[in-house]
A and B are shown apart, each in its own frame.
Chain A
Amino acid sequence: METLSGLAMGFGNALTLANLGWALLGCFLGTAIGVLPGLGPALTIALLLPITFSVSATGAFILFCGIFYGAMYGGSTTSILLNTPGESGSIITALEGARMAKNGRAGPALVTAAIGSFVAGTVGTLGIAFLGPVVVELALQLGPAEYFSLMVLCFVTVSAVLGGSALRGLTSLFFGLLLGLVGIDLQTGQPRLTFGIPELLDGVNVVLVAVALFAVGETLHLAWRHAEGKAEVRPVGRIWMSRGDWRRSFWPWMRGAGLGFPFGVMPAGGSEMPTMLSYYAERKLATPEAQKEFGTTGAIEGVAGPEAANNAAAAGVLVPMLTLGLPTSATAAIMLSAFQSYGIQPGPLLFTTQAELVWTLIASLFVANVMLVVLNLPLVGLWASILKIPQPQLYAGILVFATIGTYGISNSVVDLILLYGIGIVAMFMRRFDFPVAPVIIGMILGPMAEQAMRQALTISQGDWTTFVTRPVSLAILVVALLALLGPRLYGAWLRRVAA
């Protein structure tokens, strides 16, 4: 019942005029930026982190939640109308959605994506509200050793399990860990990896790295392969779904939401897997006539299911972030650093020490969800026109705001050089197919993992076996090892059986 009284308090706060204004601004900004190809919620929130200096924590987080959900909505519009997925979760949406748009059915595709996102967002947010307190109960039993093992598991899943190659994923992770080490060691006060440069004593700012990876690196990579010419934006058409469309969309929404949420909650964050699974499930379950539309004229089931899975997974990611302080996606990692800049440490204690903030945040996720479905369908023409901003001015503008986001933190030219330097590294990472999200996660989670490890070792008086003699810790480490080696052993076994 903690949940219900919490939600009541949360809605009481979220529905004040000022907070509704923040939510509206967030939804608006989030959708607008989500629509722009290549820009996602992580970058948007990173660029807006400076407002944490002058806005109250509640207002800032309501804004960030609006951006978070808004960007998910905007991303699907781009996938459907431009066939350019804005982020990994909407790649699958582009498969069928762009085909539907090509055949004059952009309207139904946009509607099913929007309503699917609403359904999934509501299911996901309910999941956060009811699952959160349960996870907190469990998390309070964990000591530093277990925390360290959980973080190891997190490292393995975000870098080695998801994505194309474990080797490249782990390399990205270690690059992030390295960046996280720069600065003064919190426990002994010794400077580390600073190369004697005084500006580096405070560490490398996570906003700087996020902006370098997502804005500078992306823009450089686009310039590298730039060819003159314009992408074609499909006309929106009539925003409407027939009764048949509703019937064909309903169960895919439900299944997608049910599939996506658990994937988001597990420290295997990432929406590639659930969206893909949802796509194949819908393809299998569709009626024979609908199956013919898959891959040809575009099937509405193939938009409804994955889009719901994507949004539910994104909501699920907030559960480990709020209850354990473990970010499993780049956006969650940036939100975590926003909490830190208010001096708040997410984790099991957050639900008691900052109950008002947490429940207001959850309530405003519901509010944002409603706002988005009400706002987005009538405004879809406006979003489509954002897609028509010419590329040169768009990317020039993005780089100007990237500078503001970085220079605004410290007014230091060293930071700008670092921004562009890491941006160039990010360009090569993009070229050689190294994922960038593990860099952000390694950078934020690395110092936390080191602290947990050193605390655990202080408690055990330097006995390293503490990580394997405590049963919960051991179990988590075994899962991590299985996640890392399992797929390879399975592959080797398959080859042996085949031979």
Chain B
Amino acid sequence: MKRRDHADLGAALFVLGLGVVAAWQASVVPVSPLYGQVGPKAVPYVVAAGLVLLGGLLTASALRGGWSRDIEELQEATPTNWRALGLLLAGLLANVALIGPFGFTAAATVQFALVAAAFGSRAHLRNLVIAFVVSLSAYALFVKLLGVNIGAGVVEALVFGAPE
């Protein structure tokens, strides 16, 4: 019970922090030389104030015991699966790192295999094959059929020829 209260407090402080960051960003909005009854700063300040207020109320609620204990889903929840979460985050990171230099298909294939492994699949080779086929067909569908560019790279150049 005690640990959960800390978790709620963390969430509440995050909201509070978001409000403070919003207020800082609102304060650096340049003042407009154009005439207007309400400048560009007013609404950002209102939203920032709202977030600070809500963060404060959430903090108060967390200090009074928090709300997580009322969430039914958490009562029977299994413990954090660090392996799954780690592999999934690695998949996301791999995608961000690879999509620029190597293109969509390569990045998506690596991401697919890592995410599938995160959810307990052990057929890594098969996953890589499925991933390659799925991402290359998705690429063909979006780029060739719909005309939406989703990032050409090494594999795309080999299959469809160099981009013009």
Q: Point out residues on A near B: beta carbons under 8 Å.
A: 50-51, 53-54, 165, 167-168, 170-171, 174-175, 177-178, 181, 185, 187-193, 195, 216, 219-220, 222-228, 390-393, 395-397, 399-401, 403-404, 407-408, 411, 413, 416-417, 420, 423, 428, 431-433, 446, 450, 453-454, 457-458, 461-462
Given contacts A223-B88, A399-B112, 9 further A-B contacts (CB under 8 A): A167-B54, A192-B44, A222-B119, A395-B119, A401-B138, A403-B111, A411-B149, A433-B68, A454-B37
Pick the residue among B34, B55, B81, B95 that contacts A416 (CB under 8 A).
B95
Q: How far is the CA of A433 from the CA of B72 in the complex (A)?
A: 10
| Interface bits B129-159 vs A (CB < 8 Å: 1, else 0) | 0110011001000100011111100000000
Give 18 CB contacts A-B under 8 Å: A50-B142, A53-B146, A53-B148, A170-B54, A175-B51, A177-B50, A185-B32, A188-B36, A223-B85, A225-B80, A225-B81, A392-B118, A392-B119, A392-B121, A396-B91, A399-B115, A403-B111, A428-B14
Q: Enumerate B18-44 residues with CB–CB distance to A below 8 Å.
A: 18, 22, 25-26, 29-30, 32, 34, 36-40, 43-44
Q: Is A407 a contact partner of B131 (Cβ separation < 8 A)? A: no
Return chain B residues, CB-CB under 8 Å to A411.
149-151
Partner of A219, one of B25, B88, B95: B88
Closest 6 CB pairs of A and B: A392-B121, A188-B32, A392-B119, A396-B115, A392-B116, A185-B40
Would B96 and A189 count as touching, CB distance under 8 A?
A: no
Asked if A403 and B81 make an inter-chain contact with CB atoms under 8 angstroms apart, the answer reads no
Q: Are A165 and B67 in contact (CB under 8 A)?
A: yes
Interface size class of B (residues with CB under 8 A): 35 or more
Closest to A190 in B: B40
Give chain B nearest CB distance to A298 CB in angstroms: 22
Q: How far is the CB of A49 from chain B (nearest CB, A)?
A: 10
- Determine the residue in chain A with the shortest Cβ distance to B30: A190
- In the bound assembly, the distance between CA atoms of A387 and B8 in angstroms comes to 35
A403–B95 touching, CB < 8 Å: yes
Q: Are B116 and A192 in contact (CB under 8 A)?
A: no
Please indicate the chain A residues that have their CB under 8 angstroms from the CB of B71 in the complex.
433
Known: A223-B84, A223-B85, A392-B120. A178 touches B51 (CB 8 A): yes
**Would you give the shortest CB distance from A347 to chain B, in whole angstroms?**
21
> In the assembly, what is the distance between CA of A165 and CA of B85, in Å?
28
B106 within 8 A of A: no
State whether B34 touches A393 (Cβ < 8 A): no
Could you list which residues of chain B lie within 8 angstroms of chain A, going by C-beta atoms? 7-8, 11, 14-15, 18, 22, 25-26, 29-30, 32, 34, 36-40, 43-44, 47-48, 50-51, 54-55, 57-58, 61, 67-68, 71, 74, 77-78, 80-81, 84-85, 87-89, 91-92, 95-96, 99-100, 104, 107-108, 111-113, 115-121, 127, 130-131, 134-135, 138, 142, 146-151
Known: A53-B146, A185-B40, A413-B99. A399 touches B91 (CB 8 A): yes
A420–B88 Cα distance when bound, in Å, is 11
Question: For residue B15, which residues in chain A have a CB less than 8 angstroms away from its CB?
Answer: 171
Chain B residues within an 8 Å CB radius of A225: 77-78, 80-81
The closest CB in chain B to the CB of A399 belongs to: B115
Question: Which A residues are in CB contact (< 8 Å) with B30?
Answer: 190-191
- Contact among A228, A390, A396, A450 for B112, CB-based, below 8 A: A396
Contact of A188 among B39, B48, B81 (CB under 8 A): B39
CB pair A51–B111 under 8 Å, yes or no, is no
Enumerate chain B residues within 8 angstroms of A457, measured Cβ to Cβ.
Answer: 37-38
Contacting pair A428 B138 (CB below 8 A): no
CB atoms of A400 and B134 under 8 A apart: yes
How far is it, in angstroms, between the C-alpha of A198 and the C-alpha of B91 when the chains are bound? 27
- Considering the complex, give the chain B residue whose CB is closest to the CB of A409: B148
User: In the complex the two chains form, what is the Cα distance from A27 to B90 in whole Å?
Assistant: 35
Contacts of B134 in A (CB 8 A): 397, 400
Inter-chain CA distance A225–B38, complex, in Å, is 47
- Asked, given contacts A165-B67, A395-B115, A416-B96, whether A187 binds B36 with beta carbons under 8 Å apart, the answer is yes
B107 neighbours in A (Cβ, 8 Å): 403
Q: How far is the CA of A397 from the CA of B112 in the complex (A)?
A: 7
In the complex, the answer to whether B40 meets A408 with C-beta atoms within 8 Å is no
Q: Is the CB of A408 within 8 A of B135?
A: no
Tell me, rounded to whole Å, the shortest Cβ–Cβ distance linking B139 to chain A: 8
A177 to B51: give the CA distance in the assembly, Å. Answer: 10
- Residue in A171, A195, A420, A458 whose CB lies within 8 Å of B96: A420
> Min CB distance, A22 to chain B, in Å?
14
Q: Select which of A181, A392, A462 is within 8 A of B117 by beta carbon.
A: A392
User: Does the CB pair B25–A195 fall under 8 Å?
Assistant: yes
Q: Is the CB of B39 within 8 A of A413?
A: no
Give the distance in Å from the alpha carbon of A431 to the alpha carbon of B40 in the complex. Answer: 35
In the complex, how many angstroms separate the beta carbon of B64 from the nearest chain A beta carbon?
12
CA distance A413 to B94 in the complex (A): 12
Residues of B contacting A181 in the complex (Cβ-Cβ under 8 angstroms): 43-44, 47
Pairwise interchain contact B96-A413, C-beta atoms closer than 8 A: yes
Residues of A within 8 A of B108 (CB): 400, 403
CA distance A142 to B67 in the complex (A): 41
Contact A433 B18 (CB under 8 A): no
A227 touches B78 (CB 8 A): yes
The CA of A216 and the CA of B118, in the complex, are separated in Å by 14
Set A171, A178, A420: member contacting B58, Cβ < 8 A: A171
CB distance from A450 to the nearest CB of B (A): 5
Most-contacted residue by chain A among B15, B30, B40, B149 (CB, 10 A): B40
Known contacts A170-B54, A393-B130; A192/B25 CB under 8 A: yes
Q: Which residues of B contact A392 (CB under 8 A)?
A: 115-121, 127
Q: Which of A171, A220, A395 has the most CB of B within 10 A?
A: A171
Nearest residue (CB) in A for B88 is A223
Contact of B119 among A192, A391, A433 (CB under 8 A): A391
* Contact A400/B118 with A53-B146, A175-B18 known, Cβ cut-off 8 Å: no
Closest chain A residue to B114, Cβ basis: A396
